[in-house]
């Protein structure tokens, strides 16, 4: 990647200093560069309402039995839950709800999520997230008794965010039972253009790596559904209710939509922007800020020297970010109640940041600086690309590692282009 000129570096340092000071003082952050024009975007549920739910084929004489995959993010532009909207449509009968990881209200940080009942409607909620592979797949005995399954969950645009795999599993269940899956589309909050990060190896597929997909795919969940359905030969009956008003360059703050935390540790667009990189080290023995007020912005461990790590990463001049040394004490997850040395990742410019490459930079720095302490044995689960992991172990320059996955990204783009809806 091109290095900044000296004069630009001085300006960059001044901008960084202002941002760091603003964070400490509690002042507003400087806006990221290249914010798209603000507009009101209608999600799939809003478009469904606008067209009188015709995609559901309501039948007042024999109401169609509907199942709904959703959580706290499933609301329309008026703030009404998709659950309540569909429960009051003449000609359909909402009989089953399915909750993905973190449960129906997105507040649980456990694999032990059982079935429940929606308090407002009395409709049963079937959990499709648990400790086993079987518990993460839709119950076919329930699906086959439905006419249609509707999916309405806000995604974050990252391959290992498990809501995408849950949607894909419902595609598979729809194909097996001969039922239809209707995806109510929503924005990719970190834009629909950028495609970044290593592509999943075919033998590394898992619940956090469905299909040969890069970390950041630049697609909506509706577009992913179309791609998975065709490229993996699932051949389910699929309908995508498209958004109105969304453009590929839009980040979430250009949509006019209410931010709802997609999960307990996905609390802001900044965190969603850094997540495709910082989360690459989640399966190692390093805290990624869970249990702090800055998840995916704080990174630390008891054996990290904050100034050493921050200094090394800043010397790499990674575009779009700078690193502040700090100590923090998480209240949950890795190293609960222990003081950790680490870094705070300051986002300067989201458009110049390649977040997955930043994640490889952080992993490489930890491996180089703390080879006896940094445990990489499980990092493959998230990165899902063996050559990238081997290159980190061999202390290759992260820029060269990122270059090595460009060919895979180009192949993915060629496939992806066939399924873009906007």
Question: In the prediction, which pLDDT does 73 show?
Answer: 97
Q: Write down the domain spans for the chain.
A: 44-258, 264-384
Residue in the block written with tokens 């703050």 = 253
The two structure tokens encoding residue 339: 């003081």
Running along the chain, 422 residues long, what does each successive block of 10 average in pLDDT?
A: 37 36 36 57 98 97 98 97 98 98 81 89 96 96 98 97 98 98 98 98 96 97 98 98 97 96 96 98 97 97 98 98 98 95 98 98 98 97 97 97 96 98 98
CA–CA dist 394, 43 (Å, integer): 46
- 52 phi-psi bin (left φ>0, alpha ψ -120 to 50, beta other): left
Question: In the prediction, which pLDDT does 109 show?
Answer: 74
Pick the CATH number of 264-384 from 1.20.140.10, 3.30.1360.10, 3.90.1150.140, 3.40.120.10: 3.90.1150.140
Residue in the block written with tokens 């949509």 = 255
Length of the chain (residues): 422
**Burial tier of 138 (Cβ tally within 10 Å: 0-12, 13-18, 19+):** buried
Question: In the prediction, which pLDDT does 7 show?
Answer: 36
Question: In the prediction, which pLDDT does 110 show?
Answer: 76
Question: In the prediction, which pLDDT does 36 show?
Answer: 52
CA–CA dist 123, 97 (Å, integer): 7
CB 235 within 8 A of CB 229: yes
Residue in the block written with tokens 């309540």 = 84
Residue in the block written with tokens 């200093």 = 17
- Decide whether 44-258 matches 264-384 in CATH topology: no
Domain 44-258, CATH 3.90.190.10 — does that match? no
């Amino acid at each position: 990647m091109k290095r900044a000129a000296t004069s630009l570096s001085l300006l960059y340092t001044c901008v960084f200093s202002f941002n760091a000071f603003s964070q400490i003082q509690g002042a507003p952050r400087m806006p990221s560069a290249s914010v798209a024009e603000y507009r009101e975007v209608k999600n799939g549920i809003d478009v469904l309402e606008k067209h009188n739910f015709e995609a559901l084929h309501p039948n007042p004489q024999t109401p169609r039995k509907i199942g709904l995959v959703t959580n706290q993010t499933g609301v329309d532009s008026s703030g009404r839950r998709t659950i309540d909207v569909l429960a009051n449509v003449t000609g359909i009968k909402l009989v089953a709800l399915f909750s993905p990881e973190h449960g129906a209200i997105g507040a649980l940080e456990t694999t032990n999520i059982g079935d429940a009942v929606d308090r407002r409607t009395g409709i049963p909620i079937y959990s499709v997230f648990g400790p086993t592979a079987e518990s993460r797949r839709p119950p076919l005995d329930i699906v086959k008794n439905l006419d249609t399954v509707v999916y309405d969950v806000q995604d974050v645009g990252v391959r290992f965010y498990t809501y995408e795999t849950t949607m894909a599993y419902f595609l598979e269940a729809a194909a097996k039972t001969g039922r239809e899956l209707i995806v109510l589309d929503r924005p990719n909050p970190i834009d629909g253009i950028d495609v970044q990060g290593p592509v999943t190896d075919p033998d590394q597929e898992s619940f956090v790596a469905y299909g040969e997909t890069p970390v950041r795919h630049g697609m909506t969940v509706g577009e992913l559904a179309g791609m998975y359905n065709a490229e993996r030969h699932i051949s389910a009956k699929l309908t995508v209710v498209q958004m109105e008003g969304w453009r590929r360059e839009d980040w979430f703050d250009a949509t006019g939509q209410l931010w709802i935390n997609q999960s307990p540790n996905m609390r802001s667009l900044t965190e969603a922007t850094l997540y495709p990189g910082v989360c690459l080290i989640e399966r190692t023995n390093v805290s990624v800020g869970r249990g702090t007020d800055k998840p995916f912005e704080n990174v630390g461990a008891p054996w990290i020297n904050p100034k050493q790590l921050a200094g090394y990463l800043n010397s790499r001049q990674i575009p779009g970010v700078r690193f502040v040394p700090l100590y923090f004490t998480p209240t949950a997850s890795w190293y609960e109640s222990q003081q950790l040395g680490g870094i705070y990742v300051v986002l300067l410019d989201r458009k110049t940041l390649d977040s997955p490459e930043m994640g490889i930079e952080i992993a490489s720095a930890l491996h180089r600086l703390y080879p006896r302490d940094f445990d990489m044995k499980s990092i493959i689960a998230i990165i899902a690309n063996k050559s990238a992991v081997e290159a980190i172990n061999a202390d290759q320059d992260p820029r060269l590692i990122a270059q090595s996955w460009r060919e895979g990204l180009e192949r993915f783009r060629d496939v992806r282009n066939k399924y873009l809806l906007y």
